[in-house]
Structure 1
Amino acid sequence: MDFSKFSKTPPHLKEAMELMKAGRLKEATTLIQSNLNGVAADNNTDTNTDANTNTMKDVTPDKPKLEDSAAKTAKSTNKEKPVSTDKPSSEPFNKLSDTLQDIADKMKDFKLDLPAAMDLSALGSGATTHSEPDIPANAQFLKGTLKSAQGNHSYRLYIPASYEQALQKDLSLPLIVMLHGCTQSPEDFATGTRMNELAEENQCLIVYPSQPTSANPNRCWNWFQPSDQHQGQGEPAWLAALTRSIIKDYAVDSSRVYVAGLSAGAAMAIIMAEAYPDLYAAVGVHSGLAYRSATDLPSAMMAMRKGSSASSSPTKNGKFVPTIILHGDQDHTVSIRNGEQIFEQAKQRLQAQKSDLNTQQHQCGSKQNRRSTQLEIRDNKGNSQLKYWKIHGAGHSWSGGSSAGSYTDPNGPDASKEMLRFFLSH
């Protein structure tokens, strides 16, 4: 709802502020989390708004069943039986420096149904268990755990059937780090992108880090939290540690290591390229957001909906990492404006470091593939440095992916093939 229509602070925020004044911070956080995980009352006057555009989520599941308004109100105001906090949560509000009143003031700026927009419960508390993808004989899809300063982290590693032959020939193989979207698992992401199949064809290793529900209830990478946006801390630190561990333990060519992701995973891929430009030779971004396009939950919601209001200027002295971007122009979860901002941010850094650049634009399409507009910048040697695919008619899903995985669009262009082709040219 639009809180600007009311003269009073929302009841649950008022109660939370009283708890905070009394020093009961944990209870205040629990109360806010309870309301964010609830469903908005039926007093939203905008009856023509698409429900999918009013949901703070990385992917677009089926519309959840609405709670009875009276039951929901009783749930959010019941002081005798507070919501259990036994389940780990990375609720961003407990890391914000804003006061609760400041948060309420920020909410007033949004012209959408805020309680519904913040409803993460629609994504489910944890990803569905997905079946193992099929792999050819002699290939391996290993389960591993990385122990780091940030804790223990699980991952899946795909090793192609030709790996032993490569070892015998003393060959080093490329490595691709694949970051899944919210509610997804490594298994699901591997199935949907078909990246393992391409690894067989091109002799690559693929590692799929897994975001646990203890870090985010919906398995989203926390791209919007300042503590997870920089080198040497948070999620970027352990993802970099995992990358280095695979390079050390397997026959990996350290000059051909790449990172890619979908949505929240794509936003984190951008952060990894920003934080560790010497570790990754190229980055692939599917339906993602530009670096530091958000620094808290409210700004994340706004960025997803309308693009970032922050400056698109690259950080000082940053190294340009070759970038390929794919984004559907009918994406109602992460606006196409974000793809444009990623391109502009990368272009500014590229122009600051290289001269004699050549920009090309062309369109393509076929009966099998959606129509797309491609904008590409090549260097003076003809090498593609920055490529942006705007896919017409596509929503928030992996283009050309397998319907056996979640959040995929079987209609091309094939994002996996295009990313791998771009990666292997660097």
Structure 2
Amino acid sequence: MPMILFAPAVFNLAETTRMIEVAKQMQGNHHCEFFGFSKTFASLIIESGFTYHLLTPTLTEKQEEQIIKLDQLRSFKNPFTKEMVAARILSEKKLVDKLAPQVIVTGSNVTIFLSARSKQIPLVYVKPYAMSDPFFRSDSAFIPSSLRFFGPLRKPLWYWTRKQLVKSRWMPRAFKHAAQTEKLSMPETSLRMMDADLNLITTPERFITKELLPDNYRIVGPIFAKMGASLPEEVLTFIEQKRRERKRIVYFAMGSSGNPRMVRKILAFLQNRPELAIIAPVTHLLKGKHNVSENLFLTEYLPSHLLHEHIDFSFIHGGEGTVQTACASGKPFIGIGMHYEQSCNIQYCVAYGNAIALTKPVTEKNLETALTEVGDLKICQQACQLKNHFPTNGPQKAMQEIEHFLEINNSDYH
């Protein structure tokens, strides 16, 4: 069977599970294997029945935190040194030589954009629309909330910023050095450097239906985790008990990149509301102990797609997988973006009417307002309406696009 190699950033939960969902669809007609530089969520890949190649240099926990903080603009410390980038490319090229994949499917494994070009292997990038080259070229790109302080100047300032981003040719020094070493002819702009031969957009078409996309972009729609066949018995028991007590059930999740300090603050606020019962898979983010109460169920990761019928609303970060799971639930949500892309994922839903955006800084007043607004009848109706029209065949469409891409390009790709 033809070999397909998946290359997610394995310390990112949503991205890892997104790749797994696509691989599940393809494994009947293709041999699918994974690789990465992290152990963090490798177990999910293995438990799903796929081979995982842990390459060197393996990321340390500190380096993974640095990458997450860099992504969220909470730090400018970059762990990608010339030595690290060169070593990663060497590891990737050796694996490509060994497995000879027909195509590589990635999320945000940054070095594979160089390695795939070096080995002349077709590359598919499964990604949100936000932060892409066509996104920043579009006048519908959401104005960042941080620009609200500029008043009437925010629109022209955002227009100027977008133009600079689209034209920028900046590349981190380590990657520029690697491209020169590999003798690669790179795309002329920074954003296009992170484009693949085929880019599969996971943002729902109804959110971006008016956008003009390049020929190598396809909208496949939502792809989010569907790991696990059932909820743990203790979760169901907790829900039943709290329903009898007439509590509103809240699903509180901050993904794999949540800010521990913010998690504690929001959790403390929710716990102080006697009318709420909270299911919170955030123990991985709580470094040390946290005060628990009879209305809080703290746990590790849950198959959140199975909670739909049990919850009243969600309180989540803006990771696309988490947002899409909330949309599919038919229940409204409060969302807080950890960085600009996550804020965009939430804003699509705010515009539709099924979500409330919580902007930083997080204050008790903001939390009170959001909690009141999320219970509004209209927002609940919009959430229910979105569920009825929310696409669920993203993984299948991704498979079809990749197979079609292979048919057209694989024989004469060079």
TM range (shorter): 0.3 to 0.5
Q: TM-score, length-normalised on structure 2?
A: 0.35
